[in-house]
Amino acid sequence: MEKNSESHLAKVLGPMHVWALGVGIVLVGQFMGWNFSIVKGGSLGSIIACWTIGILYISLIMINTEMGSVIPESGGQYAMAKYLLGPLASFNIGLMLVFEYVMLEAADALVVGEILKTLSPDVQPLPYIILSILLLTFINYRGVHATLNLNIILTGIAFLTIIILLFSTKFYSPSESLINLKEFTNGLPYGWMGILGALQFGCWFYLGIEGTALVAEECKSTGRALPVGSIMGLITLIIGASITWFVSSGLVDAEILGSSTYPLYDAAIATGGVLVIKILFIGTILSCLASANGCIADASRAWYSMSKDTLIPKSFSVLHPKYKTPYRAILFLMPISLAFGFTGLLDQVITFSILSALLVYILCAIMMIKFRKMYPVGDIERGYMSPWHPIPSVIVLIFSCATLFGMYFSYWINLTAGFAFYLLASVWFVFYRSRFLNYDTFMSQGTISWPRPKGY
């Protein structure tokens, strides 16, 4: 058992796998969830939030990719925190990553159940929620290479359905176009404060793309696969997000769109085209499955990494002898995701996922500033170097804090509960779990060979 605990994950991933992981997790946010930003900020507030949060994620990918390219370990932001912030911060970041992706996985399963109900009012969504999570858990159990090969297919088809919906509206022909932004959009009903509130769900266009860093250890060439896959993924998402807002807002009334469980599918229904409706039905299902598939991979890698470094019980770091997957972590997190899926509270589940992610982003910006101070450019070899430092880190800090402030207006109870949860988890770690921490194991740098940092 101990031998398996110390073995490494298989290095089998290239840039397209990283792209499929990042885009696969996030693309579902263009099929559901983003539209709640219309309730907060109106149609115009929604697209402003989309592009503003896009700037946040461009900056985040820059700093994550620089740090991730020189830390070829599973766990992504958790592994970065291990070397830059210490045990308590890395424990919290690991836990936040787990809940970000577990909650997102639950949201995916909820949407699968809800859209299947459109086939017949007699359809019970719960069995499909359970079945989809069980199936994807089994695929992840068998290996990350097969998992992300599947995601390449699912994500590619799902993104293609968005393009098909766009061209079905004949947007390129003013005389024939079905798009009518003037009739269906509602501008800025709550002014600039509405934009601040909309930032929360604007995150849903991109939330999860930072998870590409969690498979750094499994990349054949981390310095190449991570930056290329992440940047390609972000470009794909920005294009998809803009198309999604344009088509949905031009086909569905803002009041209906703001409360829809599956806005792109509703937009397809508004076209009246039977074939387009069927295609978007398939696209919504596939996007949910691709997202849940990637979430299982990312959450289990964070849990596995925490276990390997003795922050949580070591038994979760055992790899499968044949498939080289963290199968115990994968199986352990499955019922937690199912439990949140049973709630049926889509916006509440999304909110906790976003809160967890924003806290990770804030800590990432702090880590990047510290990383550049400890290891200035030229001290160590980087697979990718973030330009304009420290501007990206400052942007991440400002926009993340602004989004958290905007969440307070409607979700202050969720915000308070989330902060209380992580505070209690920190107390538990300091007064109980830290006694079992093996600091030598925790700080073992493996393949990383860095010079002594500046000032230390």
Look at residue 5 in the predicted model and tell me its pLDDT.
42
Asked if the model's pLDDT at residue 289 lies above 50, the reply is yes
- Residue 176: both structure tokens together: 């024939």
Residue with tokens 């230390």: 456
- Residue 11: both structure tokens together: 């290095």
Residue type, 349: V
Look at residue 248 in the predicted model and tell me its pLDDT.
96
Backbone angles phi, psi at 377, to 5 degrees: -55, 130
Residue type, 318: V
What sign for the dihedral angle of Cα 221, 227, 228, 232? positive
Q: Which CATH number fits domain 2-442: 3.30.70.600, 1.20.1740.10, 3.40.1350.10, 3.40.50.720?
A: 1.20.1740.10
Nearest alpha carbon to residue 344 among 149, 112, 16: 112
pLDDT tens across 74-87, in order?
788 998 998 889 89
- The stretch 427-454 carries a mean pLDDT of 76
Name the pLDDT band for 226 (thresholds 50, 70, 90).
confident
Backbone angles phi, psi at 253, to 5 degrees: -55, 140
Look at residue 3 in the predicted model and tell me its pLDDT.
40
Look at residue 441 in the predicted model and tell me its pLDDT.
72
- The stretch 309-313 carries a mean pLDDT of 91
Look at residue 8 in the predicted model and tell me its pLDDT.
66
Name the pLDDT band for 63 (thresholds 50, 70, 90).
very high
Look at residue 449 in the predicted model and tell me its pLDDT.
61
Asked if the model's pLDDT at residue 1 lies above 50, the reply is no
Nearest alpha carbon to residue 445 among 309, 278, 271, 313: 309
Asked if the model's pLDDT at residue 195 lies above 90, the reply is yes
- The stretch 355-363 carries a mean pLDDT of 95
pLDDT tens across 370-423, in order?
999 988 888 888 878 889 999 999 999 999 999 999 888 778 898 999 999 999
The span from the CA of 148 to the CA of 224, in Å, is 17
Task: Say if residue 427 is exposed, middle or buried (CB neighbours under 10 Å; 0-12, 13-18, 19+).
Answer: exposed
Coil, helix or strand at residue 267: helix
- The stretch 46-74 carries a mean pLDDT of 90
- Residue 420: both structure tokens together: 């209380």
Taking phi over 0 as left and psi of -120 to 50 as alpha, with beta for the rest, 191 belongs to: left
Asked if the model's pLDDT at residue 4 lies above 60, the reply is no
What predicted TM-score, i.e. pTM, was given to this entire model?
A: 0.89
Task: Say if residue 52 is exposed, middle or buried (CB neighbours under 10 Å; 0-12, 13-18, 19+).
Answer: middle
The answer to which of 71-85, 144-158, 338-352 has the lowest mean pLDDT is: 338-352
Buried b / exposed e over 117-152, threshold 16 CB at 10 Å, is ebeeeeeebeebbeebbeebbebbbebbbebbbbbb
- The stretch 50-55 carries a mean pLDDT of 95
The answer to which of 178-192, 200-214, 256-270, 435-449 has the lowest mean pLDDT is: 435-449
Look at residue 2 in the predicted model and tell me its pLDDT.
40
What is the share, in percent, of the chain residues with pLDDT greater than 90? 46
Coil, helix or strand at residue 416: helix
